[in-house]
Amino acid sequence: MKTILSTTADNTIGLVHRRVFGNFVEHLGRCVYEGIYDPGSPHSDATGFRTDVIKALRRLGVSTVRYPGGNFVSAYDWRDGIGPCDKRPARVDFAWQSLESNAVGIDEFVSWCKRIDAEPMAAVNLGTLGPAEAAAMLEYCNLDTPTQWVKLRKANGFLEPHGIKLWCLGNEMDGPWQAGQVPAHEYALRANATSKLLKGLDPTIQTIAAGSSGRFMPTYLEWDRQVLERCWDTVDYISAHRYSNNHANNTAEFLAEGVEIDRVISDYAGLIDYVRGLKRSEKRVYLSFDEWNVWYRQTSGDGRWETAPHLLEELYNLEDALVVAQYLNAFIRRADVVKMACLAQAVNVIAPLMTTRDALLKQTNFYPVELIQKWMIGASLRLNGGGAMYKAGKHGEVPVIDSAATFDMGSGRVAISVVNRSVDSSHEVRFKVLDRNLGTIAIATQLTGKDAKQTNTFESPTAIVPQPASASVEGNELHITLPSMSHAVVCVETRER
């Protein structure tokens, strides 16, 4: 089977923003406690944070981290998480029925972000709290005025403002599971007022309106329309969330998931354009795909009032990793719309990393993220051509190859990320950049395996790891031979013709 793709270096869709390689840390299960923070672990330093996790997240090139939720944020009071640790109150967490010690709060989180070289993205509670508490948090974090919350931050040892630039206005507020769920018009009023207040205090920030929780919701898009119409002038992004599943246990169908991801992005692109047209506006609003991953096996949210219960500890296999690659390909294909995205989540909870007190495991889904963020940089390129198709169950006929390509003007490198969705056939991809001469291959790496269900485990941590891919430049064409069920990234030096 064969696919032939071509492009030119100026056939660009948009710059791939580093913020699409974001991540998400929620006070949920063992993500914060026993995940990023574990004073009892031999891998932790004097601050209690795990240095092996920091190292792995740096390797993952995490650009941005959304915090502290998720559902958690909608009943969370940020003021519980500041000041001397022994004075912080323990609380019950409504979202996950767990106990929250508040040992980690916004100050520790921002300090930790610096260590992984990522930008913090703060979410405010618009469920049980409102604009006033969000404004107090922004004052505490970002201002340098002689006022109560700034004085308190300085008394807590943080003399310089944290300078948080990204602010999420609540989370999934159309979800019946959400503390303080409201109808769209009410959320829109709340989000608009909060955004105005926050930007009034710090005009350098950007805000993200909470979009509908997902395509499965009856409120999908209609919620977003109402929110965008009300908040158009005050927000910079609308959020989308999606978790993919293989409940049907049909690998061929599951591997066509990229089609659905494209559909969601295209739905939002259309909606954003529609509202922009209604408003006769010059302004752009972008999509923040700030929760995405495969998630369907470990779904119990009942922590039975324990601290750091084992919740949502999904084990990822090969087919999941191939879907994860397709999410990033889709974000790159629509670099004109998706300017921010967060893989949910960082550690232990639906995550690419798992910890025990002594060890760290990189799951299968770690590797496509690592590879793509490292090599797919610069401008996203529009690809022409195509090739073999296959029958993918409910998705109908779908291309066997899912692809995205980039051109980095600085280095002259062109990179291509390709997933072979076929469960049983290898596939040849031929790729031309019509206005460039192809030179040396800088990297050709693939993730593959014989068994779609193969996972990495603490006992067998390298069952699915990257290996060299088969790629060569022939004539002026890049040839890649992909085994069945594989993802490859190939980056090649190019020169102007």
Which residues of this chain interact with ligand AHR, rule CB under 6 A?
26, 69-71, 171-172, 291, 344-345
Q: Which residues contact 224 (CB under 8 A, 6 or more apart)?
A: 211, 212, 238, 268, 271
- Residue the block writes with tokens 């109908």: 396
Alpha-carbon gap, residue 349 to 313, rounded angstroms = 5
Q: Is 172 a catalytic residue?
A: yes
Q: Nearer to ligand AHR by C-beta: 253 or 313?
A: 313
- Least Å distance, CB 348 to ligand AHR, is 12
Alpha-carbon gap, residue 456 to 353, rounded angstroms = 11
- Least Å distance, CB 291 to ligand AHR, is 5
- Least Å distance, CB 217 to ligand AHR, is 11
Q: Which residues contact 96 (CB under 8 A, 6 or more apart)?
A: 28, 29, 71, 72, 301, 302, 303, 309, 311
Q: Element (H or E) spanning 92, and its range?
A: strand 91-93
Q: Nearer to ligand AHR by C-beta: 71 or 142?
A: 71
Can you spell out the DSSP letters for 156-201? TT--S-----EEEE-S-TT-TTSTT---HHHHHHHHHHHHHHHHHH
What angle do helix axes 131-142 and 148-155 make, rounded to 10 degrees?
Answer: 50
Q: Which residues contact 49 (CB under 8 A, 6 or more apart)?
A: 36, 37, 108, 112, 115
Alpha-carbon gap, residue 236 to 264, rounded angstroms = 19
Q: Nearer to ligand AHR by C-beta: 264 or 471?
A: 264
Q: Nearer to ligand AHR by C-beta: 291 or 320?
A: 291
Q: Nearer to ligand AHR by C-beta: 70 or 352?
A: 70
Alpha-carbon gap, residue 180 to 69, rounded angstroms = 14
- Least Å distance, CB 358 to ligand AHR, is 26
Can you spell out the DSSP letters for 349-412? SS-SEEE-SS-EEE-TTHHHHHHHHHH--SEEEPPEEEE-EEE-GGG-EEESEEEEEEEETTTT
CB-CB contact of 319 with 246 (8 Å)? yes
Q: Nearer to ligand AHR by C-beta: 27 or 436?
A: 27
Q: Give Cα separations from 268 to 44, 214, 265, 337, 481 (angstroms).
A: 42, 11, 5, 8, 34
Alpha-carbon gap, residue 285 to 236, rounded angstroms = 5
Q: Give Cα separations from 334 to 6, 301, 303, 406 (angstroms).
A: 17, 33, 38, 12
Q: Is 119 a catalytic residue?
A: no
Q: Nearer to ligand AHR by C-beta: 119 or 291?
A: 291
Q: Which 3 state secondary structure label does DSSP give 347?
A: strand
Closest residue to ligand AHR, based on beta-carbon distance: 70
Q: Nearer to ligand AHR by C-beta: 342 or 418?
A: 342
- Least Å distance, CB 35 to ligand AHR, is 13
Q: Nearer to ligand AHR by C-beta: 35 or 69?
A: 69
Q: Element (H or E) spanning 152, and its range?
A: helix 148-155
Which listed residue (108, 119, 172, 370) is catalytic? 172
Using alpha carbons only, give the angle 330, 331, 336 rounded to the nearest 5 degrees.
115
Pick from 429, 303, 298, 374: nearest CA to 3: 429
- Least Å distance, CB 175 to ligand AHR, is 7
Q: Which 3 state secondary structure label does DSSP give 431?
A: strand
Which listed residue (34, 108, 291, 314) is catalytic? 291
Q: Nearer to ligand AHR by C-beta: 12 or 171?
A: 171
Q: Which 3 state secondary structure label does DSSP give 432?
A: strand
- Least Å distance, CB 156 to ligand AHR, is 27
Determine the number of helices (DSSP H) and then strands (DSSP E) in the chain: 10, 27
DSSP 22: E
The encoded tokens of residue 312 equal: 């949502």
Catalytic residues: 172, 291
